[in-house]
Structures are given as C-alpha cells and as structure tokens.
Chain A
Amino acid sequence: MKGQRLPPQVGEWIDRDQPIPFRFEDERLVGLAGDVISSALWANDVRMTGRSFKYHRPRGAYSMAGHDANTMLSDGVRTNLRGDLTLLQPEMDLHAVNTAGGVKGDRLRLIERFSKLMPVGFYYKAFHKPRWLFPFHERQMRKVAGLGRINPDFESAASPKDYAWCDVLVVGSGPSGLGAARTAAEAGLTVMIVEQEPALGGSLVWQHGRDELARQQRLDHVRALQKHPRVTIRTATTVGGVYADHWIALFDDMRMTKLRARAVVLATGAIEQPAVFGHNDVPGVMLASAAQRLVRHFAIQPFERAVVMAANSHAYEAALDLAQAGVQLAAVVDLRPEGEPSGLAGQVEDTGARILTGSSVFEARRSAGGKTVSGALLCPLDRQGRAEPSKGELMACDGIAVSVGWAPNASVLSQAGVRFRYDQRLQQLVPDELPRGVFVCGRANGVYELSAQWADGSRCGQEAARHLRVLSVDPTPVGSLRDEAPHSHSYPIFPHPDHKDFVDLDEDLHVTDFANAHQEGYDSVELIKRYSTVGMGPSQGKLANVNSVRILARLNGRSIEETGTTTARPFYQPVPLRHLAGRRFHPLRRTAIHDWHAEQGAVFVHAGDWLRPEYYAQDGASREDCVLSEATRVRRQVGLIDLSTLGKLIVQGPDAVAFLERIYTGRFARLAVGKSRYGVVVDESGVLVDDGVLARLGEDEFYATVTSSGAAGQHREMLRWALIWGLEVCIVNATGQLAAMNVAGPASRAVLQSLADVDLSDAELPYQGATRASVAGVEATIMRVGFVGELGYEVHIPCWESDHVWRAILAAGSDYGIAPFGVEAQRLLRLEKGHLIVGHDTDALTHPLEAGMGWAISRKKRFFVGQRSLQVLAERPLKRTLVGIRWPEGFAGDLPEECHLVVDGESIVGRVTSIAHRSTLGYPLGMAFVDPGFSKAGTPLTIRLSDGSTCTAQVAVLPFYDPENLRQQPPTSGDVGT
C-alpha cells in the first residue's frame, strides 16, 4: 500500500500535485499538501507512530481527530505536536516523543515486562523509603515520565494574540453547525464559524461520503457561507476555553484569539468511543471514524483486510466505506444480539463479509514485535454481555475498526455552563440546562439522523437570533429530533487476562487498575480520577472518561447518572504557552530626554515602568568610579539629573488647602505662596506611603512631587478622599505631562540664572522657595531644593520642550564643568545627607516615628489621614529605628549589601536598607533599621554577609554630610510644620 492513494474522494483535503518531503525518525518520506502528519505517516505505511506513556507499547493512528495522544511528535524545537491536527509542512523532521532511542528501538519498552510491579498508584506507595534515596528516584522518574522535551535553545518568539467579536459564534461545521451559521447570518447577525479541522463540513465529509445529497447540501451551505459578508470562517482553529459572558479563547497554529460573542451555538459533534478488549491499543486498531477519515479526507486505504466491531448503524456505514475503499471485510462483529435492524446489514453481507451478532472482539492478535495487528479473536457474548473466549474464533486481519458508541464532545459545553443528564435511551449524556445565550445542536445534542441535524442547526440559529432580538420564532422542540434507538453500547468493555485491555490510552490504564483503585476505596469519580490519573493525559479523557465512568458505576452498583462525571476545564486541547503569553506587553516609560541619555552612554536601570540612567559610562572606568565621579562633581561643581520620573500632582481649587491638610501629616495652611515644604503621607494605619515636596504656587494652587512609583496610587487615593470628603478640589496627575530636572551643586545658581527670567538669588528665591519662570524660553516651575545636600533647583517643564531645556542648561553650564549624573549618584548624595527614600529605606510597615520623621507630623492639626494610628503608635515603645551606619575611612574588608541582616548572636536585630561602599566623604556608609537598643551613636553592629561571614559597622549620627545645613540657606522657623 505504501505511497498509494485511492482515487479522488469527495471533499478530500489533499492536493495530489503537491508532494511534501519530510522525515520521520530519520527516514525520508513523502506526503501530500493537505495531509496531516498522521495521514502522511499512514500513507507511507508507518503504523507505529509513538510509544505509550507508561509501558512504552507501540501506538499508531487511533482517532485521526486529535482525541488521542498516540501520534505526538517533535519537529525541531516544536514539541508535542498533535499528528492528527498538524498539517504536514515541507522538510519537517519528526520524531516521536517519549522514547529512548527512537520509536522502533525504544529502550524503555522493557518497562512493560515489569508492568505487574506497577499497579495503579504504585508511585504513591513506593520510592519514599529510604528517604535519602528519594532524590535519585525523583531524577529517574523525571527522566522517564513526561512527553516532549523542552529545548532550552529555543529562541523566544512572540505570538500575535488578538481580539475578535461577533454576534454568534458557531463551534463546529458539521450539518448542524453549517445550518445554524447560515440561519443566523441570514437573520442579519455577524457570525463566526470555528472548525477544528482544515476544511468545513465535519462529519458530512468523512461520515457521509457515499451520500450525494449530503455532498450537495454541504457544498451549497459552504459556498453560501464563504460568500456571506457577515460570516467569518476560521478553520484549523480550536475552542480552547469558554469563560464568563461568552468570552472564548480560540487557538490556531499562530495565535490565541480572545473572542467575545453575544451568543454561542455549540455544534461540537460527538466523539466516537473505543471498546475495551485485549490489546486494543495495537497499531491497526482504530475507531471506525478514524478509518473513514483516512479514506475521505486523505484518500488512504486504511487496511487490507479488516474486522469491524459494531454496536450501531454507523459501524455498518463505516464497513461499507471501507469496502468501497478496497478493504476486504473479514467480518462485522456486532455486540447487539439482534444485530443491525436497517438494510445496511444486507449491504454489508453483499460485500462478502460475515456478520457475527451478539459477539465481540476479545483480543487483537499482534504481529511479531507487537507493532501491528495480525488478527482478531472473536467471541460470542453470554446473556450478561460477557465474552466467552473458549468459544472464540481467530480471524486474520491487519485492522480492527471499532464503532460501539459516541459521547458528546462536551468539554466546551461544560465550560460554557451546560448541565447534562444521562439519557438511558440514547446511552449518552445530553444537555439538560443551557445558560442564557448558549445553544447546542447536532450530535452533541443527541441528534444523529442527518436531516434532523440540519433541522437542529437551523433551530439553534433561530434561537440565537431570537436571543439577540432580531427574530421571533417558535423553535422546534428538541426531543422530536433525537433518535429512538441508542447509538452507544451500554458496556463495551471486555476484560482480558493479560491486563492489556486499555481504558485510557494516554495513561496506560487498564480495567484491573480501576478494580484495584476501587478496592482501595477510591469509589467516586473525582477520587478515582486523581488516584489513577484517568483523563489527565494529553487527551483529557476524550476517549477514556465514558468507559471509566461505566466501569466505576458497575463497581459501585450504581447508574451512570448517580456516578456522575468529572469537571471539564480549559483547555480543550493543550496549547502552546507562547500563545497564552502573546506579545508579552510590558509597558516601558522613557523620559523625554531618553535619547540624549542613550547617546551619552547612559547605563539604564529599570525603576517600575521607567528606564532611568543609573550612571553614565566613561571609558575605562568602573561603575563605582563613574558614580563617585558624578557625585563628586555635584559636591564640587555642578551636575544635572533627569528627574522626570518624579510623580507630579497638581492640586487646585477653593478647598485645596483644607484637602492637603487632611492628606499630609504636616501643616500647609500657613505655607506662603512661593514657598515649598517637605510633606509626608501615611495611610489609615499610620504606615509611611509617600513623601515629596509641596509648592504653593497660588492661594488655591499647589504643585506636589511624589515618589516615582507612587504617583498613580497617590493620585487615585487623593481622588478617592476628595470624593469622600466632598471637597471642591481639582487634582491632576501631571507625571507624564511634565518633565523635571535638578541642577545641583555650588555653581547651579549661576548656570540656571543665565537661562531664567527671574532672580534666583537667596533674597528672591531662598531655600524651599518656588516660582514660575521662563527657562530657555520655556514656561517652567522652579523649586529650590536640597535633596542631594547642595544648592539646587528643580526645573519642571512640559515634556515636549524638556529636551531643549536640558540641552540649554548643559550648554550654559559648560564653563562650570557641568555634567549629568545618574540615579545612583543621586542615591549616594542623598544617603550622605541622610535622606531616606520611601519604598527603599522603608517597607510596608514602616511608620514615620521609627523612620526618624516625627518632626514631619503636626500635633496641632485636628485631623489628617492616619493621625489616630500615629497617636496610638506614639504611645508605644518603638520596635525599630532607622539609623546611619558607617565604617572607618580606608576600610578594606567585605561590606554588606542592602537587606543584609544585623545580628546579635543568633538573633536578628535589624537589616541594612541602603549602602554605599564608596562615598564622597571617603568612607563606606549606609542606613539600617535596628532594634532601638542598638540605635545609639557609636554602637557596633554585626552584619551577616551572604557567605555567612560578618562585618562590623558603627551607628552614626545622621546626616553624614553637612549636618549644619550650611550648604543651604537655613529654613525659616515657620517652615517646619510641627
């Protein structure tokens, strides 16, 4: 059969003019465009496409619909590809996953010899003693278990995740799906049809290939939908998950689409279910629908000589399809004592096939090596439906096609909130309660007859249109469309003494495993699932759950309805993680002067969303040298730093003063226009949450800086309080609108004065003064600040014009030796000055009293947020205190990093919050939180380093630099708001 295809089939997917070369397990093969991997392999007579998960038994194409994990492959860096659903691509280099040494020579196949030692749940009971050996066991288990391997060299690739919208989503494109879509579209709705397979038609193609009327109906509907302006068709797309409010995750080879539909029609069809008999997993045993798919989709003759295992009419249809494809029908083995009531039985007999009623396949006989089917042992069934192998008959064949029943493709239905009941007449679950806006039709709804499926689809299309108020019709009652006869056998399970009668092909679970688990007390469907792992493999139980529930129901002596089913959760099929990640949007903020920084060799550091220059690299200089050089320049000459990341809030209105008095711990009512003051914000529990400078620019207008990362939160919190208090205040977050820069150092006034149109002298703009001005021709707000401990001016200007101002200041300062400094130099300078950084030196529990900021809390105000908590805290002894720490000049030992612990013997008595290994003062210094008993100046502190060694620091008085504040004009007495 190798390389041969059948004559053209109605609706076939392949393009016979396009050969596709590929490799499987290093063998060069050729498929056709339109082939999926599984079909291309079968066309090349490759029957063994994988190895089973636990015993490493040979496995081959089974469902041809992606409902099994038998054909899971890797192609270079792509792994766990579903062979049934993945289109063949030129030069694929395919290898079966889960083998050691290839699918043919898999060394791990020896595991099967020890299968008796590996009953269900054996790994829960073994390997934990002796305890010291567990790591070894774990390593070996991890090597053996699992499927595809992650390639660490895989280059990360973004997936173009997107959004889509429609009025009606129709899932599935069989007769009911096509009918629903066309009806809804013709009612004026936008419709999206999602089909898992590469072409529309569903069962119309593979199941009704001999039916000319069905072919014509399919073509008619498909053409109409393809031309319809309101219809979007997405083939080769899977519904991965259904979430609240008709939020649906669609997956194709490229992406995930987040779809929002106003109504959902689920025409997902039914999944043919396997029969359980001895060695029912051998390559060559497959679902009858899989054999039909090979014939109709890919024009492949599945077998030379076949046995068909039957329990419904479909089996006979499949047998006739096989016969038409040239397969010699050895026998149709019908589980039903009465056999097939329709005329199909006569047609099958006309092919020369024997029909054995009240019989079953008891065992698939295997060729040497167990890699293909060589025959089937057929047995009559007794009155209880048990096989009688003693009366068995061996029949030679190379394929066994199984059609004993169906289960609704219910996973996405369950996710959508559909509730089911077990219909005894149909022997399957049928929808019982539907959520609003969700409709189910076709075989998923228990409707099997073709004309009824068309009608059921139209009914759902009408229901959806009626739900969306574009149509008013009376729907056809559902019950009248369902068949009278069951399409599923109630217990197609025939235990075999070899214990290779598989219920779950993914997990290599056989009938005895369930009996053993039940005997151990796992008697509920949820418990047995977790203990045995049934349904937890890559197929998520699509072929295993129904039979496992049947077995459990029988073991418990209860009905299927009483036994229940497990919960279906997303995803319907495994999906690549990169599809979930999408483009991985990580918003990044750049200051308006970013390009200049980059041109000047800035080394950037992430600060929240922001990118900030950490320092400016200099040829041959280390990071520490660069930072120290920048800081020294500020101390001695003048430096310029980009402060655009500062949070900036504008507070205006007649109640602005009253509002700020309640927000900040300090007093602002008496702050004069043109002056600024440091402010602290605490939350209701007294925790220090933000700080900054408030400048009063008008009677009712304040400009406040807050921490870079706290701006959005502080703005939101202010809005909330303003609303609660009902104050007339206008609060604007100008963080992204305004840039800011600080020109600092002894020469800063001279530099800025040359560009400003206002007098910057001490008389006109003293320390903590603020004014509006024009700087380099740009409207600006200037605030005189001292964060780095030097004479300094913050200049706040509109973003669009900040690059111009930045360059102008640098040009004006060139004669004074001006240069930019980065955030690391700023941290060093402020540390020397003893200024803390909220969120850096403080944590989520720090209150101002322990941070040494009691001076910033007004005791005269009637109210501010957190006041009561601070009053309570003030009455309690402090648990820790923020102190300065230092080492002697020239200290050459190891130094701690931030967050290293301060210890006293075995006790933790503090932690380092900031550290500078080098400073402009010539010695290492930092800050630390310590127990109050260790806070006295001069106290030696033992700090444990990462390697376990310790170093000793000494508590120092803050600030380290300019304690007299001589570098600034001293603040006037009214400026400290206590």
Chain B
Amino acid sequence: MSTRRSPIQAMLATAVGGILSHDEKLVKLGLKGPALMAWLQQKDIGVPAALHEVHSLSSDAVMARVDSDEVIVESMPDEPLRQQILTALETPLPGLYRVPQQTVTFFLPREEAGCLVLAQACGVNMTSVTPETIVLTRVAGVSCGLIAHSRPKARFRLWVDYTYAPYLWGQLSQITSELP
C-alpha cells in the first residue's frame, strides 16, 4: 500500500476540461552543494550546463538546474537515473547535500488555454520563455517553478510547495472554468 497522499486528492474532481492536470506518482530528488557538479560529472550523469536549463530524461522525467550548485530531478520512482543517484548517495561526500523536495507537480497545455490560465495568475510572459528552462516566479501569489516543455509534448510543468498546492489548484481550476 502506498504511503503517499496527494495534497489535492480531494480536489481532483475540480479539474476542468483536461486543461489542468496533476501526476501524483512523480517524485523529486533534490541535490545541492559545492561538490555537486563535479560529483555528477564523475558519475557520468549529464547536467544542464546553464543555470535554469532543464534536461528531459524520459517522457516524464526532468533534471532542472535551479541554482549554480543545485539540481532537482523529477521522475517516476523507478527512473533509472534516480536509482543511480540514490545508490551513489549511499556514500556520503563532503560538499554534497540532499535537499528535501516534496513539491507538487501540475501540468497545463502549452497552447492557448494554458497560456490564458497562466496570464491571469503570473506576470511572466510564458509564451516567450525559452523552452526547456525553468522560470522561478510567482503564480497566484505563490512561489513556483515553471517549465515550458517543447518535448516530448508541449506543456507547462508547474512545481509548487505541497502546502500551497490545494490553494493554487483551486485558483487555477477557477480560472480554467471561466475560460471563454
């Protein structure tokens, strides 16, 4: 039996027209520290070269470089790269730290509807953001990470704090329901 519970489990019925969606199976792994980049390279793990760049690992998995010495890997629990990193982490290394990452992931289509929703909640022009980069911004007043994916399909991936997720889901659902 899974011990995990989505913060919006009771709210999923409010999703409108498939515009807003949520994948509760995705898990995150946060890594940080001055030794991180060298360690990943040593493990032959490809790292986004530029700050805020995002690598797509598989259909759902991504690695985002959210700071010069910090990455977040999001994937299904059995993603090989995740397993590779977890195994490697069993040997502690000075200057490499795990960061708890319990944020929640929403998806919006990267087409007119998704852009219209975000335009009502976020001051960043997501239509002109470079694909496969993470934008750290505020959506409906809440700090979020927003990724504009062009592959494997065009969609926005939104990361939000677990405790703000029900609020944000409610706001985005409301906006979605009022789209013309």
Q: Which of B5, B99, B101, B174 has the most CB of A within 10 A?
A: B5
- The reply on A165 being an interface residue by CB < 8 A is yes
- The reply on A803 being an interface residue by CB < 8 A is yes
- The reply on A777 being an interface residue by CB < 8 A is yes
Closest to B92 in A: A698
- The reply on A737 being an interface residue by CB < 8 A is yes
* Interchain CA distance A561-B3 in the complex, whole Å: 77
Residue contact B4 to A590, C-beta cutoff 8 Å: no
Which of B49-57, B149-157, B161-169 binds A? B161-169
- The reply on B114 being an interface residue by CB < 8 A is no
Q: Which of B3, B9, B128, B141 has the most CB of A within 10 A?
A: B3
Q: Distance (Å) between the CB of A644 and the closest chain B CB?
A: 7
- The reply on A557 being an interface residue by CB < 8 A is no
- The reply on A569 being an interface residue by CB < 8 A is no
Complex interface: chain A residues within 8 A of B32 (CB): 730, 732
Asked whether A590 and B166 contact (CB < 8 A) given A652-B97, A732-B32, the answer is yes
Give B72-131 interface residues, CB cut-off 8 Å to A: 94-95, 97, 99-103, 116, 119-123, 125, 127-128
Complex interface: chain A residues within 8 A of B103 (CB): 736-737
Q: Distance (Å) between the CB of B35 and the closest chain A CB?
A: 11
Q: Distance (Å) between the CB of A812 and the closest chain B CB?
A: 15
Residue contact B178 to A804, C-beta cutoff 8 Å: no
* Interchain CA distance A467-B163 in the complex, whole Å: 45
Residue contact B120 to A583, C-beta cutoff 8 Å: yes
* Interchain CA distance A583-B101 in the complex, whole Å: 29
Residue contact A734 to B100, C-beta cutoff 8 Å: yes
- The reply on B48 being an interface residue by CB < 8 A is no
Quick one: which of B94, B128, B164 contacts A654, CB cutoff 8 A? Answer: B94
- The reply on B10 being an interface residue by CB < 8 A is yes
Q: Distance (Å) between the CB of B20 and the closest chain A CB?
A: 15
* Interchain CA distance A162-B118 in the complex, whole Å: 9
A-B contact count (CB 8 A): 113
Quick one: which of A162, A609, A730, A800 contacts B4, CB cutoff 8 A? Answer: A800
Residue contact A585 to B97, C-beta cutoff 8 Å: no
Which of A591-599, A820-828, A900-908 binds B? A591-599
Give A783-815 interface residues, CB cut-off 8 Å to B: 798-801, 803-805
Quick one: which of B6, B100, B141 contacts A585, CB cutoff 8 A? Answer: B141
- The reply on B34 being an interface residue by CB < 8 A is yes
Complex interface: chain A residues within 8 A of B161 (CB): 589, 736-737
* Interchain CA distance A163-B123 in the complex, whole Å: 6
Residue contact B100 to A800, C-beta cutoff 8 Å: no
Residue contact A160 to B100, C-beta cutoff 8 Å: no
* Interchain CA distance A161-B174 in the complex, whole Å: 13
Complex interface: chain A residues within 8 A of B125 (CB): 163, 165, 260
- The reply on B14 being an interface residue by CB < 8 A is no
Count of B residues near A, CB < 8 Å?
40
- The reply on A349 being an interface residue by CB < 8 A is no
Asked whether A161 and B120 contact (CB < 8 A) given A590-B7, A737-B100, the answer is yes
* Interchain CA distance A800-B28 in the complex, whole Å: 11
- The reply on A974 being an interface residue by CB < 8 A is no
- The reply on B12 being an interface residue by CB < 8 A is no
Complex interface: chain A residues within 8 A of B10 (CB): 595
- The reply on B140 being an interface residue by CB < 8 A is yes
Quick one: which of A160, A585, A800 contacts B102, CB cutoff 8 A? Answer: A800
Complex interface: chain A residues within 8 A of B7 (CB): 590, 592, 594, 799
Complex interface: chain B residues within 8 A of A805 (CB): 3
Residue contact A165 to B128, C-beta cutoff 8 Å: yes
- The reply on A515 being an interface residue by CB < 8 A is no
Residue contact B163 to A730, C-beta cutoff 8 Å: no
Complex interface: chain A residues within 8 A of B33 (CB): 653, 730
Residue contact B3 to A801, C-beta cutoff 8 Å: yes
* Interchain CA distance A799-B141 in the complex, whole Å: 21
Asked whether A583 and B171 contact (CB < 8 A) given A590-B163, A736-B162, the answer is yes
Complex interface: chain B residues within 8 A of A728 (CB): 34, 95
- The reply on A344 being an interface residue by CB < 8 A is no
Q: Which of B100, B127, B163 has the most CB of A within 10 A?
A: B163
Quick one: which of A160, A650, A730, A738 contacts B120, CB cutoff 8 A? Answer: A160
Quick one: which of A163, A583, A589 contacts B163, CB cutoff 8 A? Answer: A589
Residue contact B4 to A801, C-beta cutoff 8 Å: yes
Q: Which of A260, A587, A589 has the most CB of B within 10 A?
A: A587
Q: Distance (Å) between the CB of B88 and the closest chain A CB?
A: 18
- The reply on A588 being an interface residue by CB < 8 A is yes
- The reply on B15 being an interface residue by CB < 8 A is no
Residue contact A804 to B3, C-beta cutoff 8 Å: yes
- The reply on B16 being an interface residue by CB < 8 A is no
- The reply on A778 being an interface residue by CB < 8 A is yes
* Interchain CA distance A165-B120 in the complex, whole Å: 12
- The reply on B136 being an interface residue by CB < 8 A is no
Asked whether A799 and B166 contact (CB < 8 A) given A162-B119, A587-B141, A595-B9, the answer is no
Complex interface: chain B residues within 8 A of A799 (CB): 7, 102, 162-163
- The reply on B47 being an interface residue by CB < 8 A is no
Give A603-633 interface residues, CB cut-off 8 Å to B: 609-610
- The reply on B142 being an interface residue by CB < 8 A is yes
Complex interface: chain B residues within 8 A of A164 (CB): 119
Give A226-274 interface residues, CB cut-off 8 Å to B: 258, 260
- The reply on A586 being an interface residue by CB < 8 A is yes
- The reply on B175 being an interface residue by CB < 8 A is yes
Q: Distance (Å) between the CB of B27 and the closest chain A CB?
A: 8
Complex interface: chain B residues within 8 A of A798 (CB): 100, 102
Residue contact B97 to A730, C-beta cutoff 8 Å: yes
Q: Which of B33, B99, B103 has the most CB of A within 10 A?
A: B99
* Interchain CA distance A777-B142 in the complex, whole Å: 32
A-B contact list, 29 entries, CB within 8 Å: A158-B174, A160-B175, A160-B178, A162-B120, A583-B171, A586-B141, A587-B142, A589-B163, A589-B164, A590-B7, A595-B10, A609-B164, A653-B97, A730-B97, A732-B99, A732-B100, A736-B161, A736-B162, A737-B102, A737-B161, A738-B100, A776-B3, A798-B100, A799-B102, A799-B162, A800-B4, A800-B102, A800-B162, A801-B4
Top 5 closest A-B pairs, CB basis? A736-B161, A737-B100, A804-B3, A585-B141, A799-B162
Known: A162-B120, A583-B174, A650-B99; 15 extra A-B contacts, CB below 8 A, are: A160-B120, A160-B178, A162-B119, A164-B119, A585-B140, A585-B171, A587-B142, A595-B9, A644-B163, A732-B97, A734-B99, A736-B162, A737-B161, A738-B102, A804-B5
Q: Could you list which residues of chain B lie within 8 angstroms of chain A, going by C-beta atoms?
A: 3-7, 9-10, 32-34, 94-95, 97, 99-103, 116, 119-123, 125, 127-128, 140-142, 161-164, 166-167, 171, 174-175, 178
